[in-house]
Amino acid sequence: MTVLITAASHAEAYRLERLLQSTHVVFADYHHLPNFSFSSRQFINIPKGDSNTYAHEVLKVCLDLEIDKIYPLYSDEILALAGSQQLFNEYGIEVIIPSLNWLKRNPFKKTTYSKNLVILEKGNITVGDLPKNATLPELLATGIFTWDMHHNTVIYNLYTVTHANLR
């Protein structure tokens, strides 16, 4: 399985890579990435998430590189891909982000470091753990989240490197 992790110019991308323990990861960013000849990692440049052609250009990259899953970490990318999930699904590419309904109800917040990171896919925990007796909100089916306890309640935040407002 080949996965694409965006925001390669940020430490959050490499933390996610370690947690996934995937055999083949492609890193992407709209920032210029140096070409390390000694690195076993693959880096590519993609457009910024607020580009009108972002979803189609990322789809082309995914098809060319046989990407199976995308883990977007910039908030503008998450928003762009939320509106294009059906397109990616038609090609068998999973985009690991919450539903557009969840995104509209939960404004982006600047992610603070949390040791508690969980990846949900279709309501199942694929990476990480939750406290015993923790429940997932109904719309929280897919995405990368940090969580913390507040007055015996689990508070979820989307794991991103930047925050943005819904358009």
Domain layout of the chain by residue ranges: 2-158
User: Is the model more confident about 71 or about 166?
Assistant: 71
Find how far residue 72's CA is from the centre of its chain.
Answer: 3
- pLDDT tens track for 62-75: 999 999 999 999 99
Q: Which of 39, 29, 40 is nearest to 5 (CA)?
A: 29
* Mean pLDDT, rounded, of the chain: 87
CATH of domain 2-158: 3.40.50.20
Which of the two residues, 109 and 60, has the higher pLDDT score? 60
Where is pLDDT greater, at 133 or 8? 8
Q: How far apart are CA 9 and CA 33, in angstroms?
A: 7
Query: 3-state class of 91 per DSSP?
Result: coil
List, for residues 17-48, the tens digit of each pLDDT value.
999 988 799 999 999 876 655 567 889 999 99
Return the SS3 of 80: helix
